[in-house]
Structure 1
Amino acid sequence: MTDVVGPYELAQLIGRGGMGEVWLAHDSRNDREVAIKLLARQALTDPELAERFRRECKLAGQIRHSHILPVWDYSVDGRPYIVMPYIEDGTDLATILKKGPIEPERAVNIVRQVASALDAAHRKGLRHRDVKPSNVMVEPDGDDEQVLLFDWGIAQPIDTSGAPPVTRLDQLVGTPAYIAPERLGDRITPDHRADVYSLAVVLYECLAGGKPFDGEDMAILTAQVLRDPPPLPDHLPAALRDVVAKGLAKDPEKRWQTAGEMAAAARAALARSVTPPAGVPQPVRTPPPTPPVNTPAAPVVAVPANGPRIAATGFGGAAVAFALFLTGVVDAGAFWLLLPLLAAGGALVGFGLWGPRRAAVRPGDPTLDPGGFPKPGP
């Protein structure tokens, strides 16, 4: 017996995720194949959530853009669902990235198209809130690729009223590895620039083959607020690495202000890094002169600094403050007072345990080399 949801006959399971399942289905009203996303039944038990879902799906369905997979239909009755066109020969970006990083030119081309879609949505007053590779569809288009951004079911209208955002871990909407830092506190009201941060994470992942922060959800969320991402590989153009770093700025004011602005900067960075054509003389690099051979001085055994261990204890103190905030033990006001205190306290503990740095040891120095002390007399 064929499963039926509204006028849609479910044919084949395409994928399953945290928000529900995606099926290939037949639309009996319009005699066409569609992709239908079935949300978990408990997803919209809250009447306020159900109303927001209805409002946002309606708004998403009104956006017409070449890089947005449109919402054709939706429902909150019974089991909620969203209906979209079925892209037969498309592959989501997450599947592509399972094979590793992609060429910078391809990465920038994909991000450029997603940025165009986001800017169109932002102009309509809608932000996506879950920009990630699995929500980016890539399909062949001749010698190029057509990119579509989809899954607008959890999108949220941009709020300029100053209302506080969600701050509890179990209320966060989105995927931790792509959530902008300002969405985790109440000092700044998130706006469209949170999507710009998420898109910068996608670009980072395309270039590096991995996300800036990974692991357990709590560790990722803590890192989004407190840590800088690891640098991109050195073989990438420095200007392109700078573009990604600005997109991942913790402060929205220091970030690219629109997705299109970031994409344009990435394209310009690639253009500046193109190898000059054949026939253009290249500078000749002469090797540095060989230093004269001298009698080596007495060896010095350098002892590593204790800075990393001190920083680790400071980070541990900050993580404790962050955990207290997310679990509701302290409110936002107390969190911002507690965060520097615990971070500084942790660093002081590390400093007290290890000190800043041991002095270098020179063999034969009777004050530092244990083997250099004179033996006791008879």
Structure 2
Amino acid sequence: MIQHRLNAGEVLVGRYQILNYHAAGGMQEVYYCFDQTLERHAALKIPKAGVKDRRFRRGAEMGARVNHPNIAATLDYYEDDSLTFLVEEFIPGLDLGQRLANEFHFLDPYLCAHVAHHVAKALHEAHGVGICHRDLKPSNIMTSPDPSIESIKLTDFGIAKLAESEIAAEMELFAEDESTLVTSNTLLGAVPYMAPECWDDWKSAGMPMDVWALGSVIYHLLNGAPPFGTGRNAIMNVAKYQAGTFKLTKPVWFGKYPDTRDLEGNLWDIITKCLAVDPADRPTAKDLLGAFNSLTYASGARKLGYITQYPMSYAGGGTATAGFIRDVDNESRFFHLTSFYGMHGPEKGQKVCFASYPGVPSPRSSPILLLK
């Protein structure tokens, strides 16, 4: 059993009551707490292994400078000889990495555009006040648990400064011993989204590395896997990409859906610009936000359901490439194959999320996204 350093019921500095252990990242442990002064719940983060580190304070100061609905707010910081902690807005839900691993095979273009647009807003706000995140990846993007992914917040700005030095040190070790990559959760998690200049000089890499990371995240959302793979493969493929011997390929399902063909093209254009080898050739966060602001995409509420019939049978015989979904409210909804996003199927019993609109004789569904 893992022993955590803070215990439920413990009250820090006469104010923050620890309710339970919540999660751990490469750089910190996270606890769910109650702020007894302001009577609100919050996330309380402490540096890993109890190490006091001034970078944790600098990171907190950086996080406090950014105020935006798509960024988790930094609320407080405390440090003395025996205790260091950061208090941040608590975001109920799951990080995007968890959802990609356990829920989504990939996102349809509408849902991808919705998520990426909000992350671009967060990045624009941070870069506007001179802050580079430096560790943008799905696990640092918190989402509400609903199938619409209504709430999206970029987090861990307060940890970025701490992660910066650790990643730099681990990259130096990796150059001497490649097994470092396997033993370091911090470096391993960052590698699939790291720009090529990071390997040349991590500390001098700047805001364009965040743009590259966002392009990699968008690709992951659409493809179900990062553009260059993971681990050592990602490092080698990025090097090949720099040399012009690795070609970025579109998701295999691109071009199959007439309704989203234009949006797919626009998203692919954003991805390829973000993944320009030369940092100077990448768009700025301001450019990215402008590109997303110009997109047209549906972002209506979605429901969960199961396919109950496919293909649809006619009374007089024969079948059609259409079927029915039953939602969590036990209502039956019609759908057509041209609106179904999945690597296989549709098949009876598959779990899906979908948007719906009125229809006769049954409500219609579009798009329909296959879930794990």
Task: Please give the TM-score of this superposition, normalised by the length of structure 2.
Answer: 0.60
8 Å Cα contact 1:114-1:148 kept in structure 2: yes
Equivalent position SS for 1:57: helix
C-alpha deviations, 1:137-176, integer Å up to 9, x for none? 223799772211111123349xxxxxxx876247987711
| Residue 223 to residue 76, structure 1, CA distance change in 2 (3 Å) | farther
Q: 1:25, 1:34 → 2: CA distance? A: 5
| Maintained 8 Å contact 1:112/1:264 | no
Instruction: Measure how far apart 1:200 and its partner are.
Output: 0.8
Matched ranges for 1:1-378 at <5 A: 2-6=9-13, 7-41=15-49, 43-44=51-52, 50-77=53-80, 78-88=82-92, 90-98=93-101, 99-139=104-144, 145-156=150-161, 168-169=172-173, 175-186=190-201, 189-216=204-231, 218-227=232-241, 228=246, 230-236=248-254, 237-256=264-283, 258-265=284-291, 268=294
Question: Structure 1 residues 215, 112: CA separation in 2 closer, same or farther (over 3 Å shift)?
Answer: closer
- Give, in whole Å, the separation in 2 of the partners of 1:94 and 1:261: 26
Distance 1:229 1:24 in 2: 44
Identity %: 30
SS in 1 for 2:273: helix
- Of 236-245 and 20-29, more deviation after overlay is shown by 236-245
TM-aligned CA deviation for residue 203 of structure 1 = 0.4
- Shift in alpha-carbon separation, 1:141–1:244, aligned structure 2, 3 A: same
Gaps of 5+ in 2: 1-7, 163-167, 175-183, 255-263, 298-372
> Is the partner of 1:22 in helix, strand or coil?
strand
Q: 1:229 to 1:76 in 2, by over 3 A?
A: farther
SS at match of 2:62: helix
SS at structure 1 position matched to 2:214:
helix
Q: 1:234 deviation in Å? A: 4.1
For the residues of structure 1 that align with 2:105 and 2:156, how far apart are their CA atoms? 24
- In 2, Cα distance between equivalents of 1:42 and 1:9: 19
Q: Is the 8 A contact 1:201 1:212 kept in 2?
A: yes
Please identify the structure whose Cα radius of gyration is greater: 1
Of structures 1 and 2, the one with the larger relative CO (CA 8 A, separation 6+) is 2
Q: For residues 24 and 159 of structure 2, what CA distance do their matches in structure 1 show?
A: 16
Alpha-carbon offset, residue 53 of structure 1: 2.5
Does the 8 Å CA contact 1:112/1:260 hold for their aligned counterparts? no
CA spacing shift, 1:141–1:220, aligned 2, 3 Å: closer
Report if the CA contact (8 A) 2:47-2:56 is conserved.
Answer: no
Partner amino acid, structure 1, of 2:275: L
Number of equivalent positions: 257
- For residues 226 and 288 of structure 2, the distance between their equivalents in structure 1, rounded to whole angstroms, comes to 18
Give, in angstroms, the shift of residue 109 of structure 1: 1.3
In the alignment, the residues of structure 2 paired with residue 108 and residue 209 of structure 1 have an alpha-carbon distance, to the nearest angstrom, of 15
Could you tell me whether the CA contact under 8 Å between 2:56 and 2:158 is conserved in 1? yes
Letter in 2 for 1:3: E
Q: Measure, in 2, the Cα distance between the counterparts of 1:119 and 1:14.
A: 29
CA contact 1:111–1:263 (8 Å) conserved in 2:
no
Query: Structure 1 residues 145 and 260, CA, compared in 2 at 3 Å: closer, same or farther?
Result: farther
> In structure 2, how many angstroms separate the alpha carbons of the residues matched to 1:79 and 1:117?
30
Aligned residue for 1:153, secondary structure, equals helix
- For 1:57 and 1:126, locate their aligned partners in 2 and report how far apart those are by CA, in whole Å: 12
Counterpart Cα distance in 2 of 1:29 and 1:102: 41
1:307 counterpart residue number: none
Greater shift after overlay, 260-269 or 8-17? 260-269
SS of residue paired to 1:155 = helix
1:221 positional shift: 3.0
CA contact (8 A) 1:225 1:250 kept: no
Once the 2 structures are TM-superposed, how far is the Cα of residue 83 of structure 1 from its aligned partner? 1.2
CA distance in 2, matches of 1:144, 1:19: 26
Q: CA separation in 2, counterparts of 1:193 and 1:112? A: 17
Structure with more strand by fraction: 2
- Give the aligned residue type for 2:42: V
Q: TM-score, normalised by structure 1?
A: 0.59
Distance in 1, Cα, partners of 2:27 & 2:236: 23
* C-alpha RMSD of the superposition: 3.3
The offset of 1:233, in angstroms, is 1.4
Name the stretch that deviates more: 235-244 or 64-73: 235-244
Q: Contact between 1:36 and 1:82, CA under 8 Å: does it hold in 2?
A: yes
Structure 1, unaligned runs of 5 or more: 45-49, 158-164, 272-378
Note if contact 1:68-1:117 (Cα within 8 Å) is conserved in structure 2.
yes
